[in-house]
Structure 1
């Protein structure tokens, strides 16, 4: 048997006819930049998240870049201000900060959730701190009173990196009435990269906010800084969501809840079946909706990760690592000052992602778990 980590052809096969119809509709419309397809998708996403402003953009990184740049243009942030981020994240979270002329400040993660350790926030605050990037990594919501209290006390903006957690919800109180990740804080960047729980057939992203002024600036920045035709009020970008991708996303968005439920079922199969002495399972809280399982990430202890992955590969199980090298350890950030980040750096050598997307059935997950339990990694 072969257990691929991800097969995008399989992921999109159930939608194939509808995707073809959507492509034909866009082709025949003659409208290939902006227009009704983009507007319709923005409206659908806004309704789902209970957020009044959604701006479709080119990708998840650009969504975060636009938010931070808009805060700078609006006078909320200034060059050299600091933005706190969790040390365990994809590098896009940090690239967005430095691209806006802001300073990324890494904070270590909670070993149990592998998300930002909010108990460490106060110690990271300086007179230049202006925001916190709350990354809902692997699909798990990071949101609690320590985060909101710290932000409120110091007047900080909370920017959600919701690239991996669309559809996740929390019982904790957000800044607004919506319980959904992506609409809890001041603004959020969403990715529709093809591997996401709702993926485009190319790049795509969105900015979500309750702030009308921020939304107006983001929309202008994404379209060359244009307020109206040939009236460029900002030095902007070309970061617009393609209407073809918007049409594809409109096909797939209604099925997000089912996709997330299916991922939870696979995660539960792993959780109930894996029982290997060298494996630490991901934390599963009693709040079922707070994790949409974009990735199912285990830890292999004792320096045995490479051996473990090889054993699984020999049995046909593909795995991946998210992420083997934290941003602060990347060559491009060699000059970035940071304090001790022991949990992030230790877990970077232990984490392994197992197959969980469409194409991996619950039975497959149980079989992979059995293969894991049989893996002899030595004493």
Structure 2
């Protein structure tokens, strides 16, 4: 992704923001953080946004806040898709809880994937992988089972469901990352929690600030996780173009769907086009190394999200014996094609031509 070119669109505004923050003398918290939190809350359609140092902290703080409030317990069992980035697993571990991964029957978590474990867990984390929203049916099923749902929304900024609700407003609380490559990316790390629950938001904010009630009194064991005001100002600048950028991403994705004809390069089904912010455009190939080499020889850079699933990582030795066939196949075969707002018509057509000639 051409981050330099994407960010060049905001060069003048960013220079102004830098000067303004620099001259303010306020380098932790303050009006720029508060402004972005208000803007992002309105954008997502939620009451509260709690900004954090990064996306992992955001998801961890949701769980820690729920534990502090008595809504979840130490060692609570949290169901999540095996098909995700390792950060989803790590948030559960860092909160002192137990990940209960389940295989996916397609790409994202479905109701059928939940049924075998739903009675054995205390809560669910959904993951909007690649930018695609988990279906509304998953949330409805979990509500009927009286299981709280939290969402890892780190890749779905701006995605909209069938009822017109945005990513970040569908779960009890959602966690965003503003890593530079995200659809809404800062120029460094950043994250946020979105929720309509004022009590949860207040507790998450308290825990993110050392668990303190005031400057010298702490009533909870918190951490230090705050969004830098400079990054907040940069994010406010970029939020104004997020919908426009997502629309352009969707046009690229639609063109790919309409014009790919190579049976050796498999796309997701057509329903994947809906309710998607297109953080990446995934395809699936049998010989990934060969395909990536071929694409690079033809001047097209690709990526992989992700080579090794969390349950097979050395960090999770206790999970290494588990088997999730669909997840493992997805991780072995996935390749991300260029899908960003600055792709020109000729570049998009070249991707199609090269893919179809593979």
TM-score by length of 2: 0.96
Which residue of 2 is the match for residue 299 of structure 1? Answer: 284
Which residue of 2 is the match for residue 254 of structure 1? Answer: 240
Cα contact 1:193–1:199 (8 A) shared by 2? yes
Please point out which of 114, 123, 134 is paired with 1:142: 134
Please point out which of 71, 92, 100 is paired with 1:97: 92
Structure 1 position 367 matched with structure 2 position 350: yes
Question: What are the residue-to-residue correspondences of 1:231-270 with 2, within 5 Å?
Answer: 231-270=217-256
Which residue of 2 is the match for residue 118 of structure 1? Answer: 111
Structure 1 position 321 matched with structure 2 position 313: no
The separation in 2 between residues aligned to 1:360 and 1:344, in whole angstroms, is 30
Cα contact 2:160–2:167 (8 A) shared by 1? yes
> CA offsets, 1:285-343, max 9 Å, x none?
2874x00100000011xx32211111111111111110111111111112037754111
The separation in 2 between residues aligned to 1:144 and 1:159, in whole angstroms, is 13
The separation in 2 between residues aligned to 1:52 and 1:371, in whole angstroms, is 46
Which residue of 1 is the match for residue 156 of structure 2? Answer: 165
The separation in 2 between residues aligned to 1:217 and 1:338, in whole angstroms, is 37
Structure 1 position 204 matched with structure 2 position 199: no
1:83 alignment partner, SS class: strand
Cα contact 2:132–2:272 (8 A) shared by 1? no
> CA offsets, 1:81-125, max 9 Å, x none?
1111111111101100111111101111232xx111321212012
Which residue of 2 is the match for residue 130 of structure 1? Answer: 122
The separation in 2 between residues aligned to 1:202 and 1:8, in whole angstroms, is 12
The separation in 1 between residues aligned to 2:268 and 2:139, in whole angstroms, is 25
How far does residue 191 in structure 1 lie from its aligned partner after superposition?
A: 0.7
The separation in 2 between residues aligned to 1:166 and 1:117, in whole angstroms, is 20
1:335 alignment partner, SS class: helix
> CA offsets, 1:253-311, max 9 Å, x none?
011000101111111221122211211112332874x00100000011xx322111111
> CA offsets, 1:329-364, max 9 Å, x none?
111112037754111111211110001124422331
Cα contact 1:266–1:361 (8 A) shared by 2? no
2:11 alignment partner, SS class: helix
Structure 1 position 285 matched with structure 2 position 271: yes
5+ unaligned residues in a row in structure 1: which ranges? 1-5, 173-177
Which residue of 2 is the match for residue 3 of structure 1? Answer: none
5+ unaligned residues in a row in structure 2: which ranges? none
Structure 1 position 219 matched with structure 2 position 211: no
Structure 1 position 312 matched with structure 2 position 307: no
